[in-house]
Structure 1
Amino acid sequence: MRKIDKYIGYNVLIGILMVLFILVGLFVFFDFIDEVDDIGKQQYGVWQAVLFVTLQTPQHIYELFPTSVLLGSLLGLGAMATNHELTVIRASGVSVLRIARSVLQIALPLTLLVMLIGETIAPAGDQYAYNMRSVAQADNEYISFQSRYGFWARDKNNFINIRTIQHDGGFGAIALYQLDDNLQLKSLVLAKSAYYENGVWQLRDVRRDTLSADAIRLETLEKLDWGAVLNPALIKSVIVSPEKLSLTGLYSYIKYLRESGQRDEPYQLAFWQRITYPLVSLAMIFIAIPFVFGSLRTVAIGQRILVGALIGIGFHILNQTAGNVGLVFNMNIIASALFSPILFVLLAIVLMRRLI
């Protein structure tokens, strides 16, 4: 029985790795094409573009792995079905559930490995990639970087800290430090929100502390205009989206948002979607097996790929729709995150029961 497990696992492993290599390669290629237009901006050259897309590769592996599990299982088991190997295995007394167990023995360790990549290498690589690109494309007077305290940027003698991106396109929790020519603090501006309009930052609900040699003057303003090189497009390209943060990063940021009285639902959704990542991979496996033993056992490889791609796209659309609907209608975040994986697992169970 161990030989059968190893043989099935080997075929599925080759299928998964082959599909993953092709999909990641395509995404990396398209990423590089997108970067070609930016080559030549300031210090951003070909090497920086190659480094940028390379650093994003771990994130692509994490995001594309569930789809690769589905397509790889269809290819590996489908090839065995085409060669009548699965028929022989089943005729020897091996059940469909036992074959599913053989697939799981190779898929689960791979899932755990990819999860580890997604929690360590991928977030760090993404953050470094965007920071590197923003610095390389900026002029000498403009430097930006991101930390766990939000987005920091320098515009000449001004330093700005932005903690959150709001859903209406604005930015929240703004701190602007203005220094004089001797790099001494001249004023501190705190704003609850900021919007970029007609090339000018408009700060709202502002408190400004102006420092002089013998006094500090406090002002409270409804609005305050601030002209800067910094623009929202650059900030949004540097700040990592919730989907690309690690579990620990999401947990820390959710805690900060709650303590500061801000909305944390998008980050909660991303957190629980990461929690359900193994369930998604299992759902892809259990969906693939009934199709291999059912209607796809005698069809060409191209048709298997097409069916697998359609299932993967359908799952992705449903998963995104369920999450967004949950956010819009203030539904339970955990239920929104679990809806699609559980639905696909139930569908797989129904299909599996028809084979047993």
Structure 2
Amino acid sequence: MTLALTLTRYLSRLFAVRIVAVLLAMSALVELVEMLDAMRRLLGPEAHLGNVLTFSVLRLPLAFEQLFLLAVLVGGALAFRTLATNGEIAVLRAAGLSPYRLAALLLPLALGLAAVNTLVVDRVAPAAEAAFARWWDTVSPDDDDDDDGGRRTLWLRNGDEIVAVADLDDSGTHAWGVTIYTRDASGHIRRRVEAAEASWIDGAWRLSDVGVAAIGGVTETETLRKLPGLAWPEGPKPARLLDVAHPTERLSAADSRAVLAGERPGGGSVAHYHTLIHKSRRAPLLPALMLLLAMPAAIGGGRMGTLRGISASLACGFGFLIFDGFMLAVAETAAMPAWAAAWSAPLLFALIGASLVLHAEE
């Protein structure tokens, strides 16, 4: 038990140091490239060092989220290569340590990486991206407007309603050109409410200069009435409206489920939120998969054998990242169920990685 614990600590430290080093190096490079691309806005008329620091802090979790699996792959392959070139793999094999036993010794490391990846994917990165989107809009708000100088119409789902907002102030408490389409249980639009202005007053929305139209069958029947004002108690809170006004690619699984349940507004498709849920569910398993794909780097003797092994590891790892990205894009278009697209690449490459390890054992 003492020997196994010693090996576990040694291997975990060996792998962790290389994974962290690779992650920090790649993240720094990505941040530098992004900062150079954004330098025009960072060094605008009101530029100061705080802008650069804020940019770096808010973008760092996003870089970690994008590069974490790649860092596990490359760092793991480098660690396996170190073990192979130093002859430690040969010693372990001579002592009767099979690849399966080696994988078991790396289980504590895999659990730690799983916790970190889950936290970053489901919590840290979505929060950082939302904060960055709001801050970035304040740095140079006019750059995100349409070419003709006007803002893009904001569309969102709010429970059984489809809402269009022509313009929204920075606080999210005043909106102009608001159109609300109310749907029935079968999803058909049955009413349209148009308001020139909407204001958040005493914890609820109040519409001004309102026109209400009923929709029956496939055509509008008539305009029921014109009203100077109308309450909109079902309207989203200003903070939620601002979240939709600053769209992000990332959202936690809990927030995605809330959007699908109609408990919070969302501007994406149903397929988009289902995809985000499954990405969060599989996040704990992906670091272990990358370690499995990195194991061929320890296979083979001599310099050429090690080179072939690390090449196979990187080829499998990059192949997974590319294929997985393609499948997630397919899921976003609803061309395939989100669960099938999100889990197909991990399952396929887990089989490939296991096959490579079995082949080496033979």
TM-score normalized with structure 2 length: 0.70
- Structure 2 segments unaligned to the other structure (5+ residues): 182-190, 198-207, 214-218, 220-242
Please give the alpha-carbon distance, in whole angstroms, between the structure 1 residues aligned to 2:326 and 2:336.
13
Query: Is residue 336 of structure 1 aligned with residue 341 of structure 2?
Result: yes
Q: For residue 28 of structure 1, what is the aligned residue in structure 2?
A: 31
Residue 80 in structure 1 maps to residue 86 in structure 2: no
Counterpart of 2:164 in structure 1 is 174
1:168 maps to none
Q: Quote how far apart the aligned CAs of 1:262 are.
A: 8.0
Pair 1:126 & 2:134 matched: no
Q: CA deviation at 1:345?
A: 0.6
CA deviations on 1:264-313 (whole Å, 9 max, x unpaired) are: 00221122122112222221111111x12324863498877665544333
Structure 1 residues not aligned, in runs of 5+: 145-154, 165-171, 193-204, 223-234
Conserved? CA contact 1:269–1:323, under 8 Å: yes
1:66 alignment partner in structure 2 = 69
SS at match of 2:42: coil
Contact 1:189 1:206 in 2 (8 A): no
Cα separation, 2, equivalents of 1:131 and 1:296: 54
Once the two structures are TM-superposed, the CA of residue 114 in structure 1 deviates from its matched residue by 3.1
Once the two structures are TM-superposed, the CA of residue 341 in structure 1 deviates from its matched residue by: 0.4
Report the equivalent of 1:239: 247
Q: Once the two structures are superposed, what CA deviation does each residue of 1:201-236 show, in whole Å capped at 9, x if it has no partner? A: xxxx9743359xxx955266x9xxxxxxxxxxxx99
**Residues 187, 208 of structure 1: 8 Å contact kept:** no
1:311 pairs, out of 298, 311, 316, with 316
Q: CA deviation at 1:42?
A: 4.9
Q: Which residue of 1 aligns with 2:327?
A: 322
Q: Structure 1 residues 260, 277: closer, same or farther in 2, change over 3 A?
A: closer
Residues 1:247 and 1:327: Cα distance change in structure 2 (over 3 Å): closer
Partner residue, 1:110: 113
Identity %: 20
Q: RMSD across aligned C-alpha pairs, in angstroms?
A: 4.0
In 1, the alpha carbon distance for the partners of 2:128 and 2:168 equals 31
Q: Taking structure 1 as the reference length, what is the TM-score of the superposition? A: 0.71
1:308 to 1:25, Cα distance in 2 relative to 1, 3 A: farther
**CA displacement 1:151-183 (0-9 Å, x = unmatched):** xxxx99x9x86437xxxxxxx73135799xxxx
Counterpart pick for 1:293 among 281, 298, 314 = 298
Letter in structure 2 aligned against 1:250 = S
SS of 1:298's equivalent?
helix
Task: Supply the distance in 2 between the matched residues of 1:98 and 1:117 (Cα, whole angstroms).
Answer: 29
Deviation at 1:80, TM superposition (A): 1.1
1:319 counterpart SS class: helix
For 2:277, the equivalent position in structure 1 comes to 271
Among 197, 201, 208, which residue is 2:194 paired with?
Answer: 208
CA contact (8 A) 2:18 2:75 kept: yes
> How far has the Cα of 1:333 moved from its partner?
1.5
Paired AA for residue 190 in structure 1: T
Contact 1:78 1:296 in 2 (8 A): no
In structure 2, relative to structure 1, the CA distance for the partners of 1:296 and 1:310 (3 Å cut) is: farther
Q: 1:185 to 1:307 in 2, by over 3 A?
A: closer
Classify 1:91/1:37 alpha carbon distance in 2 versus 1 (closer, same or farther; 3 Å). same
- Measure, in 1, the Cα distance between the counterparts of 2:267 and 2:50: 43
Amino acid at match of 2:81: G
What is the SS of the residue equivalent to 1:256?
Answer: coil
Give, in angstroms, the shift of residue 37 of structure 1. Answer: 2.0
Shift of 1:110: 2.3
Give the CA deviation at 1:88: 0.7
Pair 1:96–1:33, CA change in 2 (3 A)? same
> Is the contact made by 1:42 and 1:136 (CA closer than 8 Å) also made in structure 2?
no
Aligned equivalent of 1:218: 211
Measured against aligned partners, the alpha-carbon deviations of 1:44-97 in whole angstroms (never above 9, x if no partner) come to: 444213312321211221221111111111111210110101111111121211
Shift of 1:344: 0.7
Distance in 2 (CA, whole Å) between partners of 1:102 and 1:36 is 46
Cα distance between partner residues in 1 of 2:286 and 2:350? 8
Which AA in structure 1 matches 2:211?
A: L
| 1:347 lines up with 2:355 in the alignment | no
